[in-house]
Amino acid sequence: MKRILLVLLVLVLCGLGITAYFGTREDDVGAAPAAAQADAAELVKRGAYLARAGDCMACHTTRGGAAYAGGRAIQTPFGAIHAPNITSDKETGIGDWNADDFWRAIHNGKSKDGTLLYPAFPYPNYTRVTRADSDALYAYFKTVPPVHQVNKEPELRFPFNYRFLLAGWRALYFRPGVYEAEPTQNAEWNRGAYLVQGLGHCSACHAPRNFLGATTSGENLSGAMIPMLNWYASSLTGERGEGLGKWEVQHIVDLLKTGVSAQGAASGPMAEVVQESLQYLDEKDVRAMAVYLKSLPQNEKAEEPAGPRRNPETEQMLSLGASLYEKHCVECHKASGEGQPPGYPALAGNRSLLLASPVNPIRAVLHGGYPPSTAGNPRPYGMPPFGAILNDDEVAAVVSFVRNNWGNRGSMVTGDQINNYRSIVLE
């Protein structure tokens, strides 16, 4: 018995040792500081551009607050994590950090003092960023005016409030490493992959996650529900339904750069990403991202959506939906569902309507919405809210109708589903 207990103890200790090693180790590859740049102003300018590409302000700035002063609550299934102050303030920001400290954070997911960072900060993506780009970002953030704003502690439920458990998460799901170019692809494709996988951190929304909040299938951008925002991030792979299979590269470029395209418009959280980040990127970088996304293979598990089983109840609901569509929607979206792109998106073949989850069209009908206002589309056409004039069953009927007309196929929507989202609005 003592021998068995000893063996078990040794196995436990070995397991803890392995977890500690993989959960706290740091990767030094590419850690050497970039060669000094003669033009400091150009380095700062480049860092500002990269901060836009990473949309750093989205998390590190509260509504109406000082830029990058932190405090915004990032809601997760495990509780709230407040984004830290990353201004140049030396007491509450990163004013006393050096370039190595900054690199340690984005590449290895550790704070200056070695504290393990929660992956609400997307270091599993940012680890792909080169040291040269890290140093440019650091140079820019050194110029951000200091704001004295004390950081807030995470508000996580047990046991996720014990930070040391992150070592186990990191051992399972995090491997630091700078992006390595794919030799079989050209420079444009690799640039797009670098931006999408790294600073763009597209997988943060568009990749499925497991019960511990980890994306476990690499760059699987097959679409996912964003639980705390109650929004579905569509697939960016090659499905012809909800994916990009029918999109041309220019369609993707238009959407990312202006928020609208011949195939649809950005809405919900993506509209904010386009407005605050992507519209400011160089055309060549946006095109590189589009080229990379267009090359992603179709998800092998993708299935053609099934239409509803026809019976008197569904026929009655679809008939009601048709009459409501005729009354409220046909002027913009047309009887044929072809719309008037890019101002009024087509509904026929619209990938938001082909999703397994109907949450996006439900929220669009209830709360309306606008594509982002961008330089390429400064006065976007908007969708008015109908939640005040249609009851739950009527909204369900019209959403069911547009999901099952003009060749679209989707599940029926119920009044109970509508009621679940009636009081939810995008932050």
Tell me the H-state helices in 259-346. 269-276, 283-295, 312-328, 330-333
Residue 7 pLDDT class (50, 70, 90 cuts): very low
What gap in Å lies between CA 336 and CA 264, rounded to an integer? 16
Contact 70, 86 (CB under 8 A): yes
Q: Which among 286, 287, 264 has a CA at the least distance from the CA of 348?
A: 264
Contact 44, 141 (CB under 8 A): no
Residue 351 pLDDT class (50, 70, 90 cuts): confident
56-60, 214-218, 389-393: which has the minimum mean pLDDT?
A: 214-218
Residue 290 pLDDT class (50, 70, 90 cuts): very high
What gap in Å lies between CA 224 and CA 242, rounded to an integer? 11
Percent with pLDDT over 70 in the chain: 87
* Token pair listed for 143: 């110029």
* Token pair listed for 9: 């103890």
* Token pair listed for 157: 């439920």
Burial of 211 (0-12, 13-18, 19+ CB in 10 A): exposed
Identify the H or E element spanning 225.
strand 224-226
Gyration radius of the chain over CA positions? 24
What gap in Å lies between CA 53 and CA 50, rounded to an integer? 5
What gap in Å lies between CA 152 and CA 393, rounded to an integer? 43
Q: Is the pLDDT of residue 267 over 90?
A: no
pLDDT value at position 11? 44
Contact 283, 257 (CB under 8 A): yes
What residues contact residue 130 under an 8 Å CB cut-off, 6+ apart?
30, 178, 179
pLDDT value at position 304? 55
pTM value?
0.89
Q: Which among 238, 267, 198, 262 has a CA at the least distance from the CA of 53?
A: 198
Q: Which among 255, 236, 265, 231 has a CA at the least distance from the CA of 362?
A: 231
pLDDT value at position 220? 83
Distance of CA 216 to the CA centre of its chain: 16
What residues contact residue 176 under an 8 Å CB cut-off, 6+ apart?
26, 27, 107, 108, 109, 127
Burial of 355 (0-12, 13-18, 19+ CB in 10 A): buried
Identify the H or E element spanning 155.
strand 155-156
pLDDT value at position 218? 61
Tell me the H-state helices in 296-335. 312-328, 330-333
Average pLDDT in the chain:
87
pLDDT value at position 222? 86
What number of helices (H) and strands (E) belong to the chain?
Answer: 17, 7
Tell me the H-state helices in 202-248. 203-206
Q: Which among 195, 221, 83, 49 has a CA at the least distance from the CA of 130?
A: 195
Tell me the H-state helices in 155-234. 166-173, 187-197, 203-206
If you average pLDDT over residues 4-14, what whole number do you get? 47
Contact 105, 111 (CB under 8 A): yes
26-35, 39-48, 222-231, 318-327: which has the minimum mean pLDDT?
A: 26-35
pLDDT value at position 382? 85
Contact 381, 344 (CB under 8 A): yes
pLDDT value at position 31? 60
Contact 82, 151 (CB under 8 A): yes
pLDDT value at position 237? 87
Q: Is the pLDDT of residue 22 over 80?
A: no
